[in-house]
Amino acid sequence: MILPVQETVEASLSIAKAGAGIGAGLAAIGAGMGIGRLGGAAAEGIARQPEADGKIRGIAIILAAFIEGVSLFAVVVTLLIATASS
């Protein structure tokens, strides 16, 4: 059976919105895991070489900002997909 065009478009939009929700969730989970691993590795590095404390901490903060930036970009893209009207 062939669906009318309007029903097909509505079905596609609902699938896109569901995918956008899943994408936003995965972006948040990935960012959390990435920052957690980064923090753990930084703490281990500082424990192994306490004299490199400032350098390791500075690099970890910069990398955490990059991770947050990428995850924020992913969430914005998924929200744009979710709010698309056509």
User: Has residue 26 been placed in a domain?
Assistant: yes
DSSP string across 7-39: HHHHHHHHHHHHHHHHHHHHHHHHHHHHHHHHH
The verdict on residue 2 lying in a domain is no
Residue 5 lies in a domain: no
The boundaries of the domain holding residue 45 are: 11-82
52 domain-assigned? yes
Assigned domain for 38 exists: yes
Predicted structure pTM score: 0.74
d(CA 35, CA 27): 12
End-to-end CA distance of the chain: 24
The CATH number for 38's domain is 1.20.20.10
Tens-place pLDDT, residues 58-86: 999 999 999 999 999 988 888 888 787 65
Count of structural domains, the chain: 1
6 has a pLDDT exceeding 90: no
Please report whether residue 33 resides in a domain. yes
